[in-house]
């Protein structure tokens, strides 16, 4: 069964450093997403991406965040200057188009120290 692959599974970074979280969506999917879950809190929407541009973003997705699809297979989330409160599990997802066909990756646990 096709999978969404995320790397790394766990990343530790120092406050103020830039991090890039990587995702390989399912190859025939057209919509890509990032969500995050701070420990003990809800899974929160960050951003959706379609046709090489952001289609929707939440209030969490401020200027510190950016997304890119650099080569037609990877989908990345960059955090420019990490803060302690960015520590969370970050989930990538992709879909053909309808919401019932979302497929999530296993997540990257980001720890900012």
Partner 1 sequence: GEDVEQSLFLSVREGDSSVINCTYTDSSSTYLYWYKQEPGAGLQLLTYIFSNMDMKQDQRLTVLLNKKDKHLSLRIADTQTGDSAIYFCAETLYGNNRLAFGKGNQVVVIP
Which residues in the 60-89 window bind partner 1 by CB under 8 A? none
Name the 3-class secondary structure at 47: strand
Among 19, 21, 48, 90, contact with partner 1 (rule: CB under 8 A): 48
Query: Considering only CA atoms, which of 92, 77, 107, 79 is closest in space to residue 29?
Result: 92
Q: How many whole angstroms separate alpha carbon 60 and alpha carbon 113?
A: 20
Nearer to partner 1, 17 or 55 (CB): 55
* 24 counts as binding partner 1 under rule CB under 8 A: no
Partners of 11 in the β-ladder: 110
Of the listed pieces 12-20, 38-46, 61-69, 72-80, which binds partner 1 according to CB under 8 A?
A: 38-46
């Amino acid at each position: 069964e096709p999978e969404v692959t995320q790397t790394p599974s766990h990343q530790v970074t120092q406050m103020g450093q830039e991090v890039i979280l990587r995702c390989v969506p399912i190859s025939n999917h057209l919509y890509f997403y990032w969500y995050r879950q701070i420990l003990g809190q809800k899974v929160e929407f960050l951003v959706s991406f379609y046709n090489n541009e952001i289609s929707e973003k939440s209030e969490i997705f401020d200027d510190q965040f950016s997304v890119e699809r650099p080569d037609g297979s990877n989908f990345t989330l960059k955090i420019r200057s990490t803060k302690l409160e960015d520590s969370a599990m970050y989930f990538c997802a992709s879909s053909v188009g309808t919401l019932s066909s979302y497929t999530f990756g296993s997540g990257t646990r980001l720890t900012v120290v």
